Amino acid sequence: MLPARYRLRRRNDFDRVYRRGVAKSCPAFVLYCKRNGGQATRIGFSVSKKFGKAVRRNRIKRQLRAAAAEQMAHFRRGCDYILVVRRAAAEYSYQQLSELLSQLVRSLEPSASTKKKPQA
């Protein structure tokens, strides 16, 4: 279980990561990353209602929280992360989701979380 101190919860924090963060994706989800200026690593989860009813959405969030707790050593300190779940995530087992998360976290460059997205 991912302790509450490692969870991203406030709307303003989510908005800041979406606007200024760097994104990497895979078929199951999109991972956003943004430095938060502190020492804490926080992770937020976003699952659309298009994914399914509440039971299905909560199940995938529980699985991803557990996978994130196992992978905490790979997340960079002082960064906020958001996992946006895609519909395809329902087709993956817990082990596959955990492996995909690990690959995405490792694929983020150390400097990527400080770069800004190009403005259109």
Looking at residue 55, which CATH number applies to its domain? 3.30.230.10
List residues bridging with 32 in a β-sheet.
23, 82
Report yes or no on 93 lying in a domain.
yes
Number of domains in the chain: 1
pLDDT tens per residue, range 50-100:
999 999 999 999 999 999 999 998 899 999 999 999 999 999 999 999 999
* CA separation, residue 91 to residues 24, 46, 85, 88, 113 (Å): 20, 17, 12, 6, 29
Report yes or no on 55 lying in a domain.
yes
Report yes or no on 112 lying in a domain.
no
Domain range holding 10?
4-106
Report yes or no on 83 lying in a domain.
yes
pLDDT tens per residue, range 5-61:
888 999 999 999 999 999 999 999 999 999 988 888 999 999 999 999 999 999 999
pLDDT at residue number 117: 52
